[in-house]
Structures are given as structure tokens and as C-alpha cells.
Chain A
Amino acid sequence: MSNYLQLYAVDKVFHTKTGDIQALSNIHLNIENGEFLSVVGPSGCGKSTIMRIIAGLDKPSNGSVEVNESELKGIADGAAIVFQKDVLLAWRSVLDNVTLPLELKGITWFDRSNHQTNRAKALELLESVGLKGFENKYPHELSGGMRQRVSICRALIQDPKLLLMDEPFGALDALTREQMMYDLLKLSNKYKFTTVFITHSIEEAVFLSDRVIVMSERPGTILKELPIQLTRPRDNHTRSNDIFSENVNEIRDIFQSQGILAEN
């Protein structure tokens, strides 16, 4: 695999009225092309900050970000974000929410033929996440899980090289969450994008990823990079695999030794 993105000695300090907050300290990270990478860590450790830096929404205070061996300036090209909240536009139908990125990026405003292909593409994506028949609904008519799936479609319609997901399933119930994981694996297998997946859940990270980054409490540093040796495709049996529980336990032990997890 070839290298896609590289964080080199990244620090991030937020200057606030009540003083400086160091969110990240000395982060080194390589992301390979096509890789599924998860980041786990305690709340407030800087996971979202890493994602924002990768996306180019925030600048690192020190260090550098390189995409395909050239320094990232401004917004990262080819990266699509699924935010923690679904941030759907309440005034647009499901379909128009999904086509929004193409409408905004392109010159498709006057171009009807393009408009049609955009729609077709959006409908195909919506169908692949089980939202067929909902394209003309408005976001408030959907459940939380459906809304988050729409926001995933909105990210995927951009044909991203890099999909950034910030705890996308955080607000969902356990059942929906599991369904979404399968959906995501299916999509990532189909479209072959590189994924950076941020989560609180160790099981989720191990289940989905090729590699898990374990982070310390603030200021966030990388405690461990753990390659996950589970075979793909991942399915119902993956969780009963020994490697799965070994990996989960290993990460849990790291948090325990750091005092982030305590049994009593």
C-alpha cells in the first residue's frame, strides 16, 4: 500500500480566554491508501481535533500535514466528512441533502443533464443504505439512524478518497449502530476509499479497522498503533474470533494502565 496522508510532529494548542489548552502533542501518523483506520481515546483527548486537522478545517500549531507527499494548505481535497451530528439541512429534502455537495462544487447549476446524473447517483446511494422511498422526505421525518445514513450518503456522493467520520454512530441505539457498521463495511468495500473513523467504542474500532490508534488523555498523544489481523469480510462471526477479543483486551489494558479505565 502506498502512503496517502502523513501527520508529522503535530501539536495543537487552543488559545482561549481562560488560558491555553494543549489538545494534541507530538502526533505522528501515517495513513495508507485504502486503509480503514480507527482512533479511540477518552473524551476530550483531541480526536475531533485530529480529524479537523486532517480535513484542513484547523491548522496544526506545530508540525505538518502532508497529503500525497505535498503539504496540506487550506481544505483537504477529496476528503469528505461525516460529523458527529448529522448536520442535515432542514430545508432540503433527503435527495437534495445528498446532492448538495455536487451542486455546490460543480457548475451544475444550469446544467440539467448533470442534475439528472447527480440525482441518479444519490438515489443509488440512498438505496444502498436502505433509504429507498425516502428521497422526498424532509430530515425531520426521519429517525436518528436514518438521518445519519443520509449524511453518510452526502459524504459518499463526493467520491471521496478519504472518508473522515467523527463518532458517526455515537447517538444511535445499539441495534441501529450494528446495522450501520455492516452498511459502512459494505460501502467501504464497494467504493474503496480510505477511512479515518473516530470512536469511543473499542469493540467498534477493532471490528471495523485495519489499524487502531489508541490515544491518551489530553494533551492527546498516540499510546499505541495496533494492527488488526482479522480477515475480511467481517461478519457476525468476527466478534467470536479470538483475535477480536485479544485486540479488544489489549486496548482495554492500555486504558487501564493509564488510569483512564478503572475497575473500582
Chain B
Amino acid sequence: MESKMEIDRIRRIQGEKKSLIVIPKSVWAALTLVGLVILWEILSKLLEIPAYILPSPIEIVSRLVKEISMLWGHAIATLTEVILGFGLSLLIGIPMAITIVYSRYLANSIYPIIIGIQCLPMVSIAPILVIWFGYGLITKVILACLISFFPVVINAVNGFRSLDKEMHDLGRSLGISEAKIFIYFRLPNALPHLFAGFKVGVTLAVVGAIVGEFVASERGLGYLQLTANARLDTELVFVTIVVLAIVGIVLFLIVHLLERLLMPWYHANKAGGDH
């Protein structure tokens, strides 16, 4: 009787939800963005701002289209550094987080050091990396890795530690090994934390790669921007900023999409933060 009432109630609620016309949230963001760009275009024409101070959106876009193949090459260079660097920080960071969670010794020795190092501005290490590793790919990959490493590790440790005691006991009561508990309970339970770390990490990896290109490079968007700046080619500077923004957003969206794919249960589960 009571369960039937509940079934009916839930069906009703779901029915209500479906009957609404849903406007994707992204539409609002896109409209706002377009509006701001139009405002910029109008203002830069009205106030006759010279292009070397602030080029107008149309100028930026037409330059972008004109230089697309050159930009593509630099973007690929930067992307390679970002992906290698971020991949490396996952490759080292996740196993490290797992050992920290399972080893009291590491939790007491390494983990505080990691948290401490995190407070250093990683960018200040860039010049030393140049001395050690030269002007090649390695310097940028290491910088991207270093800078994205800490959010990945710290969020992963928090995530792996966030397993409920009762949930752990449930696993134990089923008589399964700690390794199986990790795969079936601890890891999926940690996914929201892991992805929070990935999102911050991948964005920071871009920062690392760009800083690396500032100090040591002949290729990449950071290098391109630096040289354009030196030539007072403000238009090209803005073009690279736009491309960088696109690169950053695309990477973020990829992580976000993966998150949605892997945890369809998570977002519907939360009251705030996503409306």
C-alpha cells in the first residue's frame, strides 16, 4: 500500500519533469558571451581604439582565420606538452595517492611534504628546469606535470580516504580482499574527488606549458604570443589568447564529458552547484 503510493509519487514527479521545455544552460552562457563580444566590437569602433592597443573582435577573428594553419602547428605543440605533462602527473600521482592512502608511513612522511611543496609557486622553478633539461620538449612537459601534479594527488588522496566506515565494513563483511574493496568501493566512491582534481589539474597543465614556452621555446602558443608581443603585434597576441582559451575549454570539456559518462549518477544526486 505504502510502497504503491511511493511508486505513484515518483512516477508523477518524473512526469512533471519531462513535460517542461528544457533550455540547455549552455545557451545562456553563449548568448551572454555573444552579447559581450558585440558590445566590444561596437565600443572599439565608436571610440576608435587603435588596433595595437585593443583590436576589435572582427579583426581578431579574420586574423585567426588567415593564420589558421600556422596557429594549428603551434597549438599542436602546446597540446602535446599539456597532454604529456598531465598524463605524466596522472601516471605518477594516482599510484602515489593510492600508496599514501594505504601506507601510514607515507601518509605521515611524504604527504605533508607534498602539501608543503604545493605552496611553492611552481613557475619559479621554470628557469632551473631550463638549466637542467634545456630548450626541448622535456622542460615544458615537466613543468606542466609539476604544476598539475598537486591538485591531482591531493584530491585523489582525499577521495580515496572518503570511503564511509560502514561501506568499508560492508565490503569486509562480504569477505573480499582489500584490493577488491578498492576496485568496487573505494575507487568509484572517489571518482567525484578525482575528477575535481583532474579539472583543476588539466587547466593548470596548460599554464605550466605556456610558462615553459615563455622561458624556453621555439614553438607553441606561448612562444608565439611572446614574439608577437615583442613585435607589438597586438592582434596576434589576442589571437593566441583566443586559441589558448579554446584549448583550455576543450580540455576542460573533455574531462567534464568523461566525468558525466563515468558518473551519470553523481550530478542528479546533488542539490546545488549545477543549475
Contacts and interface: CB of A to CB of B under 8 A. Distances in A.
Interface of A: 52, 55-57, 74-75, 77, 79-81, 83-85, 87, 89-91, 100-101, 104-105, 129-131, 133-134, 138-141, 143, 145-146, 158, 175-176, 179
A75 B265 contact: no
Given A145-B6, A175-B2, A91 B172 contact: no
Nearest to A74: B175
Contacts of B180: 104
A146 B166 CA distance: 19
Consensus secondary structure, chain A interface = loop
Interface of B: 1-4, 6-7, 10, 164, 166-167, 169-176, 180, 184-185, 188-189, 191, 263, 265-266, 268-269
B173 A81 contact: yes
B166 A91 contact: no
Nearest to B2: A179
A151 to B, nearest CB: 9
Nearest to A166: B166
B2 A55 contact: no
A140 B268 contact: yes
Given A87-B164, A87-B167, A101-B174, A131 B3 contact: yes
A104 B176 contact: yes
A133 B265 contact: no
Contact of A55 (B10, B173, B191, B265): B173
Nearest to A90: B265
SS class, residues of chain B in contact with chain A:
helix
Contacts of B268: 138, 140-141
A176 to B, nearest CB: 6
| The 4 residue pairs across chains A and B that have the minimum distance between CB atoms | A130-B3, A140-B269, A91-B188, A138-B265
Contacts of B176: 104-105
A90 B266 contact: yes
B5 to A, nearest CB: 10
Contacts of B167: 87, 89
Given A100-B184, A133-B7, A176 B2 contact: yes
A57 B174 contact: no
Nearest to A143: B6
Given A79-B173, A130-B3, 17 more contacts: A55-B173, A56-B173, A57-B173, A74-B175, A77-B175, A83-B169, A85-B164, A89-B167, A90-B266, A91-B188, A91-B189, A101-B174, A105-B175, A133-B7, A141-B268, A176-B2, A179-B1
